[in-house]
Structure 1
Amino acid sequence: MMKFLRQVWESFRFASGALKSNITRTILSLLGVTVGIFAIVAVFTIVDSLERSIRDSLSFIGDKVIYVQKWPWGFGGEYQWWKYFQWPEPTFAEYKYLYDNMESASAVAIMDFRGSTTLKNGSNSINAMIQGVSFEYNLISDIPVQNGRYFIPLETNNARNVAVVGADIAESLFPGQDPVGKPFKLSGHKFTIVGVREKKGESLVDFGGSPDKICIIPFSSFSKLFQSGRRNADIVVKGFPTDEGMKEVEAEIVGLMRTKRGIKPREGNNFSLNRPEAAAQAISGLFAVLTVAGWVIGSFSILVGGFGIANIMFVSVKERTNLIGIQKSLGAKNYSILFQFLFEAVMLSLVGGFVGIFLVYLLTFLKLGSLEILLTPGNILLGLGVSSIIGVLSGIIPAMLAARMDPVIAIRSK
């Protein structure tokens, strides 16, 4: 072990001396590797940051859930697009039927949205999205309440005028105050705040609107205010974790919905079952393309950098031929000479990799709106790993030539 460590230390000294003695040549050789590693790690870092931001924005949709809706999230399939117009909207009665009869679901909820609506408290006002939900909605979608509480069944069942509001709404209507228990006006009706959600802040993409500007009220209250007797909405069903692929819950939804709507056996469904996985898969496909593009762009720069390192190693071997002969005449083994030059090539490549990674680290300080760029340990290891491989591939041939030199011929060279 001590012999190996001594050999590593000697190789490090030789490599450092060789790189310092030709600093200009070393820097020029590093540029290719630096640019290549920067391109690859930067693309991976930005793609990871974008994907994380978008997936966080999709978290409100819920996990292992199926949305029963009129319109599919993606057109196509067995029906022509105009036939969707003839399909009925899901109703509150259908929600109650699923709620009472579903056995393979852990939760069934109903929800609906209304666009920008003015909320007022005296002279303070804010435009917000109104979301009406049944009590079980918090079992399907994450609603982190920082101050106060979520609804209780009595409030949702009896159409109480209560609300769980986003942080921006609370700050706008009640600046510097505790908003819990205080009233405000929504479409001319008095509502009381029972809870305030945790502040999420800006996101690159906010599917369904920013949670900080959403006012959640019981679906029964929402229906009285905005639906004019038409209790149409989206039904959301959450399956059990043990239901792989959501097959059991989907089959039960289809059977119950067809029964409720009186669809004959030979007739097709007149409702859509939408899954959040479709959006997640589309996002994954997009970022997979961006990742491949990053590899392609970075590979060209790394290829140039690899040739640069190979060139400097060939020159280094030629310049130190006499020294190689002296070392071998004093008993240095072939593997010792091989390791010495290979270590030098890897060290040179790693220095370029470190510089490239450092440049990516500087990117994390840039303000790109709501996008937070994070350099993960995985991407750092990726950059260093690629640098090491490039160093080995670029230095292996020059190192082998140096190791196979005849000591007598090498000493005589000038």
Structure 2
Amino acid sequence: MKFLRQTYESFRFAWQALRSNLLRTTLSLLGVTIGIFAIIAVFTIVDSLERNIKDSLAGIGDRVMYIQKWPWGFGGGEYQWWKYFQRPEPSLTEFKFLEERLENAEAVVAMDFRGQVTVKNGNNSLQSLIQGTSLDYNKISNVPVEKGRYFSQQEIDASRNVALIGADVAETLFPEQDPVGKEFKLNGLKYIVIGVQERKGESLVNFGGNPDKKCLIPIGAFAKMYHSVYPSIDIAVKGLETDEGLLEAESEVRGLLRARRGLKPMQEDNFALNRPEAAAQAISGLFAVLTIAGWVIGSFSILVGGFGIANIMFVSVKERTNIIGIQKSLGAKNYSILFQFLFEAVFLSLIGGGVGILLVYLLSFIKLGSLEIILSPANIMLGLGVSSIIGTISGILPALVAARMDPVIAIRSK
């Protein structure tokens, strides 16, 4: 009960100090507000970016490696493009070779892409991304079918002109209609819609293209249209759940592909085994740098704000010296006076930090393209925690000065 009464008295004194010196208090707390805003804004944007990009990376598969000509350039050092340029392209024959022989794989998939291809239905048309795939594509990537169905084995084997289309393609080519079973033209050829994907929405980084504007077709049908000019594909291998780190799958793929291409033991690989984890690690490193930058920028403002709060508290102690003397003469303990001024400092700092967090929350309503900014509870707690620490550090010395005053001298002061 006594503690609650002291807390109430401390809160009342802090509120009176805030109201009586509103301009001085506001200017002093501005540093804390700006500092907390800078730190929490950077943390919130970084978290939102990281979440968005990791969701995009999840779309290209978990426990998946990609066999390609070019390695993903996320490592340090010089990118030796002139050496990679001379490598052979992965081919459909190599895909079939691996599909038949790989044992440490849940799925082996062939895929290829062509962007900005016009698809038509009557007077309706759209610039679409065409992706040729083999049967097991839905095992390495999320392909939620809202209407219709996925490809059958017979359709893939026979390279039939069938398509699984995205939500935007369906709405544009077949407005207010059920597209399943209807025809449209792709590259001058007739294709039948067998399914429509659920709307996924555009992400910040669309690995593999915007799924809502994509048309999936059998890899054989894709090859008949495009591989006479550029007969190359990407091969994706999904490892088994028991294969930790895909070590067994990677070793088996490397051995089979080296043998297929006739590489000698001392020759280096003429293909790249790319993993989404490499992209995730590179992105995490970039975000770590941004996070440090946010702390550095915010720390300067918080430092200024801390000195401002300390200045307010020293002035407050001087203005209330007589009251402190009266309180002590009536039996107030040193810790009670200490707590009173320390609480006031923390309270003022929390106001500054709360305003900074409020500004970040308002920032989350601003539309930044496909990036959705979300202020997480963890970042709110971080902002309030930092504010409390700054208030405690800034207020401890003035509170000690007030607590150690001699009551007789304090009462006599004016």
Partner of 1:301: 301
* In structure 2, C-alpha distance between the alignment counterparts of 1:81 and 1:365, rounded to whole Å: 43
Name the structure 2 match of 1:404. Answer: 404
Corresponding residue for residue 324 of structure 2: 324
Partner-residue secondary structure (3-state), 2:160? coil
- How far does residue 76 in structure 1 lie from its aligned partner after superposition? 8.0
| SS of alignment partner, residue 206 of structure 1 | coil
Partner Cα distance (1:413, 1:230) in 2: 92
Partners of 1:322 and 1:215 in 2: CA distance: 80
4+ residue segments displaced more than 6 Å = 75-79
Structure 1 vs Structure 2: percent identity of aligned residues?
71
TM-score normalised by L of structure 1: 0.95
Q: Deviations over 1:344-380 (max 9, x none)?
A: 0000000111111111111122222322222111111
SS in 1 for 2:196: strand
Give deviations 1:204-238, integer Å, cap 9, x for gaps: 33233211111111112111222139753111011
Task: Note if contact 1:328-1:407 (Cα within 8 Å) is conserved in structure 2.
Answer: yes
Alignment of 1:168-183 (within 5 A): 168-183=168-183
Deviation at 1:340, TM superposition (A): 0.7
Q: What CA deviation, in whole Å up to 9, does each residue of 1:52-86 have, x standing for no partner? A: 23333333321221111111122888995333233
- Give the secondary-structure state (helix, strand or coil) at the position aligned to 1:340: helix
Q: 1:330 to 1:242 in 2, by over 3 A?
A: farther
1:5-404 equivalences under 5 Å are 5-74=4-73, 80-228=80-228, 232-404=232-404
Aligned length: 413
Cα deviations by residue, 1:228-262 (Å, 9 ceiling, x for unpaired) = 39753111011233433222211111111112222
Cα deviation, residue 135, structure 1: 0.9
Paired residues of 1:113 and 1:132 also in contact (CA < 8 A): yes
Distance in 1, Cα, partners of 2:65 & 2:31: 49
SS state at 1:17 partner? helix
Unaligned runs of 5+ in 1: none
Give the Cα separation in 2 of the matches to 1:230 and 1:401: 80
Output the CA distance in 1 between the equivalents of 2:228 and 2:197: 29
Paired letter, 1:120:
K
Deviation by residue 1:78-98 (Cα, 9 ceiling, x = unmatched): 995333233221122221222
Shift of 1:168: 1.1
In structure 2, relative to structure 1, the CA distance for the partners of 1:230 and 1:303 (3 Å cut) is closer
Question: 78-87 vs 250-259, which deviates more?
Answer: 78-87
**Structure 2 CA distance for aligned equivalents of residues 104 and 133 of structure 1:** 21
Aligned pair in 2 of structure 1 residues 77, 343: CA closer, same or farther (>3 Å)? closer
Instruction: For 1:261 and 1:76, locate their aligned partners in 2 and report how far apart those are by CA, in whole Å.
Output: 28
**Hey, what's the Cα distance between the residues in 2 that align with 1:50 and 1:270?**
34
Structure 2, unmatched stretches of 5+, are none
- Separation in structure 1 between the aligned mates of residue 152 and residue 11 of structure 2, nearest angstrom: 69
TM-score, scaled relative to structure 2: 0.95
